[in-house]
Amino acid sequence: MTSNPPELRPDLANARVAQEAARPGQPTIGMVSLGCPKALVDSERILTRLRAEGYGISPDYSGADAVIVNTCGFLDSAKAESLEAIGEAIQENGKVIVTGCLGAEPEYITGAHPKVLAVTGPHQYEQVLDAVHGAVPPDPNPFIDLLPATGVSLTPRHFSYLKISEGCNHKCKFCIIPDMRGKLASRPAHAILREAEKLVDNGVRELLVISQDTSAYGLDRKYDMNPWKEGEVRSHIKDLSRELGQLGNAKDLWVRLHYVYPYPHVRDLIPLMADPDNALLPYMDIPFQHSHPDVLKRMARPAHTAKTLTEIAAWREICPDITLRSTFIVGYPGETEAEFQHLLDWMDEAQLDRVGCFKYENVDGARSNALSDHVAEEIKQDRWDRFMEKAQAISEAKLEAKVGQVMDVIVDDIDDDGIATCRTKADAPEIDGNLFIDEGTEGLSVGDIVTVEVDEAGEYDLWGALRP
């Protein structure tokens, strides 16, 4: 296999469209949401607007009057998956509207599927709605449909993604996200906090903070002040994290940060994570991508000269329980065996808790395509295998050390056999591991936060028993 398998790609998020009972004559729209959690939030906003206008939401093609396909354009393999989904929707339904990152290349889509009704780019909500209105006119019932919408969620009720900004100011050579989603555009702090407060009031127990560059939040706004409660809050990731962490009791609410670049000011977040009264979890998802400074320079990564091992040591000194996850690219153009070995040695020293890795792929429009010395596919595969062997060994040892510990977990699912699938504070949904409870789960409900004692560990998952 030369492309990255879906479960190993960092650009995927599971969407779950619930079945609704449609009233007679109600127009219905289906949604296929591909790509990352940021795209998932876009899908939720589109569906929420449509639901407020009187449209029903269908979980499949056959029950819908039209289908929206929210696409991903992160990698060539993701583009191929998006085109396949569009083709399937056309075949099964016929009326298809395309949006999302791949929508930034309309000719690419219409060249493959000329029958699509409309193509819009990412976060172009009004254009999507206009296209839906043209394909399936709204027919609202004023006594039923035009009530205030609480929002359509494509994730389980107990957790929700919270997008704090759009776009990115970096120009990493392997990435075309800034070309598709534009420069950094941060939301006002009070708007984010209001949305978060509403989610918590509606029963969300875990807020997953997402963006293209979480550390840079507010830079474009010059860290302006915003009215909040009886005072003001600054549009800065430290201030925002502090306020998010105070929206609920730390025993009942989790706040998790994703895509945090390791800028120097990130160290100001660590004391909040160590504070037992703040709901900000001791967890950071940091896209290191590589360790060797020359590779990072060829990638045009921000902070490529940063001494990341020194930063990691400083974070752990302040907050020993912090969980660090990251993603890496192997086989980047020009990567030598010595540079790859540097990465393996760095992994030995960094001892990251959760790690994902994918093999470099060319992406149309990426500047890295023009670099010299592209790595052969068989070498990429060999390096990926060796990297994952190293990462797995580190994960296994870290999880084994948790046996006997008592910790809080959040319940994600309970199957027909009574086995509860849970996550610890060290595990984000979809991308990290699980903790399983296979006895005494009769009184549990999805979304509960309960205390367990870990009694068994595997390569990526844990097993535990409920504690009173």
- The answer as to whether 380 is a domain residue is yes
Based on the structure, what is the number of domains in the chain?
3
The CA distance from 385 to 185, in Å, is: 38
350, 378, 400 — which closes off a domain?
400
78, 103, 135 — which closes off a domain?
135
- The answer as to whether 212 is a domain residue is yes
- The answer as to whether 252 is a domain residue is yes
Pair (265, 352) in one structural domain: yes
pLDDT digits (tens, 9 = 90+) for 413-428: 999 899 999 999 999 9
Pair (345, 219) in one structural domain: yes
DSSP state of 157: T
Kindly report the CATH number assigned to the domain that includes residue 185: 3.80.30.20
141: pLDDT strictly greater than 80: no
Pair (457, 360) in one structural domain: no
- Extract the tokens encoding 28: 């219905």
Query: Which has more confidence, 2 or 59?
Result: 59
Pair (130, 267) in one structural domain: no
- The answer as to whether 145 is a domain residue is no
142: pLDDT strictly greater than 90: no
Pair (196, 343) in one structural domain: yes
175 has binding-site annotation: yes
422 has binding-site annotation: no
Instruction: Give the predicted TM-score (pTM) of the model.
Output: 0.77
Task: Give the pLDDT of residue 151.
Answer: 56
- Which domain, by its residues, includes 250? 159-400
Pair (195, 330) in one structural domain: yes
Pair (234, 358) in one structural domain: yes
User: What percent of the chain stands above pLDDT 90?
Assistant: 58
Of 218, 126, 204, 225, whose CA–CA distance to 164 is shortest?
A: 218
- The answer as to whether 151 is a domain residue is no
Pair (432, 321) in one structural domain: no
pLDDT digits (tens, 9 = 90+) for 235-292: 999 999 999 999 998 889 999 999 998 888 999 999 999 999 999 999 999 999 999 9
100, 135, 170 — which closes off a domain?
135
Q: Which residues contact 325 (CB under 8 A, 6 or more apart)?
A: 283, 284, 285, 286, 352, 353, 354, 355, 356, 428, 431, 432
Pair (381, 451) in one structural domain: no
Kindly report the CATH number assigned to the domain that includes residue 449: 2.40.50.140
pLDDT digits (tens, 9 = 90+) for 35-82: 777 777 788 888 878 887 788 888 777 778 999 998 887 777 788 888
Of 17, 79, 81, 82, whose CA–CA distance to 43 is shortest?
A: 17
Pair (247, 361) in one structural domain: yes
- The answer as to whether 393 is a domain residue is yes
User: What percent of the chain stands above pLDDT 70?
Assistant: 90
Of the listed ranges 3-7, 291-295, 380-384, 453-457, the least confidently predicted one is 3-7
Furthest C-alpha separation in the chain: 68
Of 419, 401, 421, whose CA–CA distance to 353 is shortest?
A: 401
- Please state whether beta strands 96-100 and 165-166 pair in parallel, antiparallel, or not at all (unpaired): unpaired
319 has binding-site annotation: no
Of the listed ranges 155-159, 176-180, 304-308, 452-456, the least confidently predicted one is 304-308
446: pLDDT strictly greater than 70: yes
Kindly report the CATH number assigned to the domain that includes residue 114: 3.40.50.12160
- The answer as to whether 440 is a domain residue is yes
